[in-house]
Amino acid sequence: MRHGWFGGDGGAAQAQRRMDLQIMIAEMRGYWESLRDGPALPGRAEINPRGIRGALSGAFLVEQIAPQSGRIRIAGQNFTDLLGMEARGMPLSAMFDPPARAAFGPLLAQAFDARAIVDLQLDCETGIGRPPIIGRMILLPLAECAHRGRAVMGCLALSGEVGKAPRRLSLRGHRSERIGGPPCDTNQPDVFAVKETAKARPYLRLVDLGR
């Protein structure tokens, strides 16, 4: 039987795992909110890694290459651990198992179109040498750049041992929140809150070494 956002109750250990994921996602969401100027979306040049120290292992930047597809330009250690290799240059959909990819594409398109913030509930297939993993991913739209097109920043938060790589993510639930509005698409009933952070102007830019 599944309960709420992450399934079985699992006692104190399961509650702590859920809290660890929420803290990491909330840090990334709060930082993104702190960069906004009214209704305007932040630009990629404003991203300051010092503002997301607790989320750097899961931080990523994805550039749109098709309506429902994006290429990873910057990725934290969580991506390398799951894939067993460098993730930069790969499509973000490569992180997911085949059944999840069809559902993930339209959700990514919502973020690229700056229509929604997307929050995903994740886990992984299990087996010999592959213990259970739970995770969350958040997709946060960035302002469109005239020279580099549309992009999304986000965070992949994981809890559990990776074990034998590669591991592919399974999509177990999602929630889309309209920019400046209420949730617009969800298959989970829970509501979560994000603590706002103080606005601070960036002074160290996150440099893309892929070019």
User: pLDDT tens digit string along 85-104?
Assistant: 999 999 999 999 999 999 99
Vertex 81 angle, CA 168 and 54, to 5°: 110
Buried b (16+ CB within 10 A) or exposed e, 155-168: bbbbbbebbeeebb
Higher pLDDT, 143 or 9: 143
Map tokens 């087996």 to a residue.
127
Q: How far is CA 116 from the centre of its chain?
A: 13
Question: Is residue 107 within a helix (H) or strand (E), and if so which, with residue range?
Answer: helix 98-112
Mean pLDDT, to the nearest integer, of 26-32?
A: 96
pLDDT in tens, 112-154: 999 899 999 999 988 899 999 999 999 999 999 888 889 999 9
pLDDT score for 47:
94
Vertex 44 angle, CA 191 and 123, to 5°: 40
Peptide bond into 141 cis (omega under 30): no
- What's the chain's average pLDDT? 83
CB 27 within 8 A of CB 55: yes
pLDDT score for 39:
85
| Amino acid found at 33 | E
Task: Give the domains, in start order, of the chain with CATH numbers.
Answer: 12-44+54-180 (3.30.450.20)
Whether pLDDT at 34 is above 60: yes
Percent of the chain with pLDDT over 90: 67
pLDDT score for 109:
97
Q: How confident is the model at residue 7 (pLDDT cuts 50, 70, 90)?
A: very low
Higher pLDDT, 26 or 186: 26
pLDDT score for 182:
58
Q: How confident is the model at residue 14 (pLDDT cuts 50, 70, 90)?
A: low
Pick the range with the lowest mean pLDDT from 7-11, 18-22, 128-132, 183-187. Answer: 7-11
pLDDT score for 187:
63
Q: How confident is the model at residue 192 (pLDDT cuts 50, 70, 90)?
A: very low
pLDDT score for 122:
96
Q: How far apart are CA 93 and CA 86, in angstroms?
A: 15
Mean pLDDT, to the nearest integer, of 170-175?
A: 95
CB 91 within 8 A of CB 65: yes
